[in-house]
Structure 1
Amino acid sequence: MTRKTIGALCLAMILAASGPAGAQDRPTLRLGLLKFGTVNWEAQTIIDEGLDERHGFELRIVSFAGGDATKVAMQAGDIDVTTGDWLFVSRQRAEGAPLTFVPYSSSIGAVMAPCESDIASIEDLRSKRLGVAGGPLDKSWLMLLALAERRHGIDLARETSPVYGAPPLLAEKLRQGELGAGLNYWHYNARLETEGFCEIVSAQEAARELGARGDISAVGYIFDEGWAQENRDLALGFVAASREAKAVLAGSDAAWQRIRPIMGAENDAVFEALVRRYREGIPDRPVEEEEADTRAVYRHLAEIGGEKLVGVAQEMTPGTFWQALKDGS
């Protein structure tokens, strides 16, 4: 073996060990997600499309069995980013934990009922067994209560028989006819749409009754503001990659085919419904407008849910929406 050949082999071994040029210099962002949650679809798209590499970081998905576990992991420093809503972030900030929020999706809950039933409006829910996912302090339920009271003079909590439970269980009970209607999360409702169920009223409609002028986000990415200040380029790079992934999923059917194996779609109709509903929930408003609308809705939820819902923060705590989204600071 010649000296030239030996040198070439050594160079090849070094390059193979080091991986792609610059990869070892990219910071890792640890994103904590529910194992089967829909946010995995965007996260996997970021990886598949190389959007993390484009923005100078490596995305690592850390899976958890429950939402509380992700928040504990973030507080412990085991992950950098997870998901949650602005109610949680505002309450944490008011209690001294400097979390902040980046809108992810405006896909939100809605009341579904069999299309052939006698339920065609919110007024028809009287005396019905109504499934409610997320419990009595779920924000979609509280907004629905406000809508019913303001628009129709109906106290849904008293004039229906609310049944609180886990989303998949309530969806199944609705299929079996044990519930007259159900308020559930968007991806369960997307499946129900393919099985003869129709939307009666959405939480976004309720939000408009409470002062929103457009769609507000149901869920967003949350992280520690101090971490974001110390890792500014990483945090901004992640937000940019997230937005680019949404653009890909908004326009590319091929991208959806790549992530179809992790979507759990039972058939083509469910797959198409999930894609359509996901696309409808991609935020497309200036963050300042969404923040203002969310603040207006928050005031009403604080009044309805009280301290059990919002803690001491009767107004949405300043900084709940990440300031850098608005002014680059």
Structure 2
Amino acid sequence: MLASRRDLLRLTMLAATTTLGMQPTKVLAADKVRIGVLKFGTVSWELDTLKHHRFDAANGIEAEIVYFAGEDATNVALLAGEIDVIVSDWLWVSRQRSLGDDLTLVPYSSAVGAIMVKEDSSIKTIGDLQGKKIGVAGGSLDKSWLLIQGLAARDHGMDLPSSSEVVFGAPPLLSEKAMQGELDAVLNFWHFCARLEANGFRRLVSAEEAAKALGASGPVSALGYVFHDKWADENPVAAMGFVKASAAAKQLLATSDAEWQRLAPLMRAEGRELETLRTRYREGIPTRRPAEDEADAAKLYRVLADLGGEKLVGEAREMAPGTFWPKLTQ
């Protein structure tokens, strides 16, 4: 049964690569790491820094960046064994582990979205969202949206979806609608929020604030670098080398404004937008021990399981053991 599933995933991956005009890659040597990312995603900023400064070579690996058109394609590629690493969240990793896959993750970023309103908006608290038109990116089961719903229910006795007019849509479109005044508030991904912040918007409440209010002791990594336990066990130099190379890139991004100027064309940002993106990115660099991240993620998993139910987490009511890479949490 397992073999047939992997064969299906491989066929799906072959179709995806054909659609994108790519050729299927061959299995690479142990010191090479194939990372699947979205072409214009924020992960590419860190990976560009990693490659430009040869942090991969300095840590005994060769990072090969493979670009995809969508998140689903990266997930399929990882499950099929066509790439070694992707970026995803711990909810997805936990659900896959509950289904029998051996995925695990290393914290990548705690940067999360926020509900944004115009600087001069009369909306001052979550309670003021009653009856307002709210744009939400990521769909009805987006973690940030669920956490903010939980906070609204706890502090204001509000059921946000029923007390407000909620519009779901693509992040760029929602940002544009907010700028045009067609939305009273918008919950978007962190980098879209940063761009709005640089253009006359302010944060009403962030998903990080909601997470802390609902039990987290600090900023929880929303995303991580995800790979198979089996791959890491068979390629320990590659796995740990990539973790160290990522840390070196983050350290440079945390300290060097010049590096952000170099990245500006890739980011398509300048001036205040570039500065705000830099600030918010730096705030999202994980600084806590992975074990602390894991403990808080487990707490939030239970909250999200109650809010999102089986559609979000499947049948598992607890985060699966090993969701965070044990080599970093022990």
Report the TM-score, using the length of structure 2 for normalisation.
0.90
Alpha-carbon distance, 1:246 to partner: 0.6
- Give 1:92's aligned residue: 96
Matching residue within 300, 304, 308 for 1:305: 308
- Match of 2:277, SS? helix
Q: What does residue 176 of structure 2 align with? A: 172
Equivalent residue in structure 2 for 1:131, among 129, 135, 153? 135
- Conservation of the 8 A alpha-carbon contact between 1:26 and 1:56: no
Say whether residues 1:30 and 2:34 are aligned partners: yes
Deviations along 1:54-92, one digit per CA (max 9) or x if unpaired, are 111111111111000001111222110001000000000
- For the Cα contact (< 8 Å) 1:167–1:185, is it kept in 2? yes
Give, in angstroms, the shift of residue 118 of structure 1: 0.9
**Within 5 Å, which residues of 2 pair with 1:1-329?**
27-265=31-269, 267-327=270-330
Aligned to 2:17: none
Q: Distance in 1 between matches of 2:225 and 2:182?
A: 35
Structure 2 distance, partners of 1:313, 1:233, is 33
**Structure-1 residue corresponding to 2:24:** none
What displacement does 1:26 show?
7.6
Amino acid at match of 1:196: G
Matched residue, 1:17: none
- 1:12 matched to which residue of 2? none
Q: CA deviation at 1:35?
A: 0.4
Q: Kindly name which structure, 1 or 2, has the bigger radius of gyration based on alpha carbons.
A: 1
**Matched residues, number:** 303
SS at match of 1:80: coil
Taking the aligned partners of 2:102 and 2:241, their CA distance within structure 1 comes to 20
Query: Counterpart in 1 of 2:18?
Result: none
CA distance in 1, matches of 2:329, 2:137: 33
Contact 1:98–1:224 (CA<8 Å) still a contact in 2? yes
1:133–1:167 contact (8 Å) kept in structure 2: yes
Secondary structure at the residue paired with 2:116? Answer: strand
Which amino acid is the alignment partner of residue 305 of structure 1? G
Letter in 2 for 1:164: F
Deviation of the 1:27 alpha carbon:
2.3
**Residues 45 and 209 of structure 1: CA distance in aligned 2, closer, same or farther (over 3 Å):** same
SS across alignment from 1:61: strand
Encode CA deviations 1:269-292: one digit per residue, 9 max, x unaligned: 111111111011111011111111
Name the aligned partner's letter for residue 54 of structure 1. A
Residues 30 and 235, structure 2, Cα contact 8 Å, conserved in 1: no
Cα distance in 2 for partners of 1:25, 1:298 equals: 36
Q: Is the contact made by 1:26 and 1:58 (CA closer than 8 Å) also made in structure 2?
A: no
Indicate if the aligned counterparts of 1:91 and 1:311 stay in contact, CA closer than 8 A: yes
Per-residue deviation, 1:257: 2.0
Runs of 4+ deviating beyond 3 Å: none
CA distance, structure 2, for counterparts of residue 198 and residue 105 of structure 1: 22
SS for the counterpart of 1:199 is: strand
Distance in 2 of aligned mates of 1:158 and 1:26: 52
Unaligned stretches of 5+ residues in structure 2: 1-27
Change beyond 3 A, Cα 1:248–1:188: same
The structural deviation recorded for 1:168 is: 0.7
Cα distance in 1 for partners of 2:224, 2:81 equals 19
Deviation string 1:255-275 (CA, Å, 9 cap, x unpaired) is 22222221111x311111111
CA RMSD of aligned residues (A): 1.2
Q: Secondary structure of the equivalent of 1:314?
A: coil
Task: For 2:198 and 2:216, locate their aligned partners in 1 and report how far apart those are by CA, in whole Å.
Answer: 30
Aligned counterparts of 1:128 and 1:150: Cα–Cα separation in 2? 19
Asked whether the equivalents of residues 31 and 237 of structure 2 are also in contact (C-alpha less than 8 Å), the reply is: no
Deviations 1:159-200 (A, max 9, x none): 111111111111111111111000001100111112111000
- The share of aligned pairs that are identical, in percent, is 55
Question: Which position in structure 1 is the counterpart of 2:10?
Answer: none
